[in-house]
Amino acid sequence: MTRNIYPFTAIVNQEGMKKALILTVIDPSIGGVLIRGQRGTAKSTAVRALAHLLPVIEVVKGCSYHCHPSDPRLMCEDCRKRFEASERPLPAAESKMRVVELPIGATEDRVIGTLDMEGALQTGRRAFEPGILAEVHRGFLYVDEINLLPDHLVDILLDAAAMGVNYVEREGISFSHPSRFVLVGTMNPEEGELRPQLMDRFGVCVEVRGIAEPEIREEVIVRRLAYDRDPAAFLAQWKPKDERLGKAITQAQRRLGAIVLTREALRMISRICSDLKIDGHRGDITMAKAAVALSAYYGHSQVRRQDVREAAALVLPHRIRRSLMDEEVEFSLEKVDEAIEKTKEPVAAAELPPMDEKKKSLKNKNSDGKITTKIHVIGEDRFDLSFPNVGVKPSPRSVAGRSVKARATREGAYVRSVLPRGKPRDIALDATLRTAAMFQEERQGSGGSSVIIRPADIRVKWRQKKMGRCVLFVVDASGSMGVQEQMRETKAAIMSLLGKSYQNRDRVGLVVFQGTQARLVLPPTGSVDLGRKYLKRIPTGGKTPLAAGLALGLSTLKTEKMKYPDEAVLLVVVSDGRANVAFNGGDPLDDAVAAARRIRKAEVDTLFIDTEIDPRAFGYGWELAKIMNATYVPLGQLESGRLVSLVS
């Protein structure tokens, strides 16, 4: 049954998303497209509709890998041997580029390919059955909710994208084939972030949002209802526009090689990437390719300023290097325009300081001749801290509750098959049959009709289940300590942990106590965007209701444990322990001690970071840490980034 697909040109607005997809069709070497946005913003609709616009390509006739007839880099081993033997293009056929969808729950065998079981049963010979990475060669690979893709599939995509080749070692088969594809992913950032390694593989990233204007929203409703009422008539109505856009893309592809990338355009690109502090050079190269593709699409003969500006908006936003503490760092076209204007200024020769001065600047000595310890927050200097060596040893128990790596369980996704250990359970029938299939000819002789399976053939399912955890920070925001600096350090740790939350399946939250109460400022989340939003403004100053903070932290973790019973939890308390606000008019310190005992009784893994300048002076933090059986660390013993390493 043919499935009707909503027309690409019928999608209302969302021009940035549509432009990004069009550019990767014009020049697939730009890289993949990542589309981030809210639910119901036509992300999946646009990618699936792209199939109608894809051009026809030449493939080797009869080859299941869609090899190029004359380019050995895009050929499988068999086609390459034939090409080298004949020294001329192989017999060709026309085939439309495809959009192949990768299901979130796909097994590893389905993605990379495996033994052809039917052929093995019939002939007893090992033969390779291609997977999704073979189907998508020279096409588009679409992954919906790519941020939820299991880690083992992410690793496979990263390998294939980097090498352009899929290597398979399966059931005695050693095989490889070309797999060059454009990766297109859609995701909702509120459901978790993408691994940085995978994010870097996307040449273009666009943010899509719901349309605010009532009149345009009305048009969305009208078109969708018309499509649902009579899909055939709606498709016929929009078919001419889709065809015109398809022709425009084909013409742009033909013009691509003739577009001139001028020196001026190159200077603009390099200046923009330099001023925006883009890491590496992939952004520069991708931006240049995108600018050339835009120029070809608009019918220009050479890259213009507007092409560079538009390319920057598509290529650079997800490559901005964000300081974890700088919540205001955002991509803006104003910054791009400022960088472009600088290219018109004469370049002055840089004056380098003498080598002796460089050496002196490497050491910052005080009057005693001792090196001053300086702690840094990522991206900028922090305040000067020269803490004494307190001599207080941390609690002997280690910080538990760390992320649990993926492991074989009886639950979770079926990833691959393995040999059983002991009595076979959860048998992998497909892998067992594939193993047995290779020996049927010798086991059955001639005329056998049933499959003979022996104990050595049996394989069991290796299932992957990755358990995350909830890390809750309970932070003293009162005026009794250098709160701004401690809050900066804590925010940096929270944002760093959120950045790793995709890999670890972690969620991070924040409770702040100051004045007369404690508040859950950041509900446990795995979203960096939500985290940055909630952490943007946190009130500080006032008294220290420590008992209220500990009580709210414990109750929050208990609630999370009820929601996610398999999830590990970790409580991180950041305070100097100087309680001065009681629950019910009693002694504030007694209330804090009672709350600490409840934490110990609940057996919650806890890390207590003492922010007292000299922990020996009062010792409140040390005593509370002992009561709640927490790992104790004075802030003065934490070097830059150590807080992150302790809880990650």
- Residues paired with 319 in a beta bridge: none
Q: What is the dihedral of CA 158, 159, 162, 167, to 10 degrees?
A: -150
| Structure tokens given for 426 | 């959860």
- The C-alpha angle with vertex 534 and arms to 578 and 515, in degrees rounded to 5, equals 30
* Token couple for 293: 């593709």
CB 146 within 8 A of CB 195: no
Nearest to 514 by CA among 486, 554, 492: 486
Q: Which helix (H) or strand (E) holds 113?
A: none
What is the C-alpha separation between 255 and 271, in angstroms, rounded?
Answer: 27
- Do residues 201 and 32 lie in contact, with contact meaning Cβ atoms separated by under 8 Å? yes
Burial (Cβ within 10 Å: 0-12, 13-18, ≥19) of residue 516: exposed
Q: Measure the CA–CA gap between 493 and 508, rounded to whole angstroms.
A: 10
Token reading at 129: 């059955």
Please tell me which residue in 282, 305, 382, 597 is annotated as part of the active site. 282
First to last CA, the chain: 50
- Distance between CA atoms of residues 116 and 109, nearest Å: 11
Tokens standing for residue 448: 């056998």
Residue 546, CA distances (Å) to 148, 384, 394, 435 in order: 38, 27, 21, 63
- Residue 219 φ/ψ, nearest 5 degrees: -65, -35
Interatomic CA distance for residues 432 and 116, integer angstroms: 13
Taking alpha carbons only, the member of 143, 154, 259, 244 closest to residue 196 is: 154
Q: Which of 468, 465, 489, 467 is nearest to 477 (CA)?
A: 489
Beta bridge partners of 377: 380
Is the Cβ–Cβ distance between 202 and 31 less than 8 Å? yes
Identify the CA nearest to 628 among candidates 573, 586, 567: 573
Amino acid at 17: M
Which phi and psi (to 5°) does residue 350 adopt? Answer: -75, 135
Contact 621/486 with Cβ under 8 angstroms?
no
Residues with Cβ < 8 Å from 395, sequence gap 6 or more? 625, 626, 629, 630, 631, 632
77, 177 Cβ separation under 8 angstroms = yes
User: What one-character DSSP code corresponds to residue 285?
Assistant: H
Active site residue 454: no
68 Ramachandran zone, left/alpha/beta (phi>0; psi -120 to 50) = beta
By three-state DSSP, how is residue 127 classified? Answer: coil
Beta-bridge partner residues of 95 = 57
Residue type, 410: R
Contact 510, 454 (CB under 8 A): no
504 in Cβ contact with 469 (< 8 Å): yes
Q: Residue 383 carries which side chain, given as an amino acid letter?
A: F
Report how far residue 477's alpha carbon sits from residue 474's, in angstroms, rounded to the nearest whole number: 10
Residues identified as active-site: 282
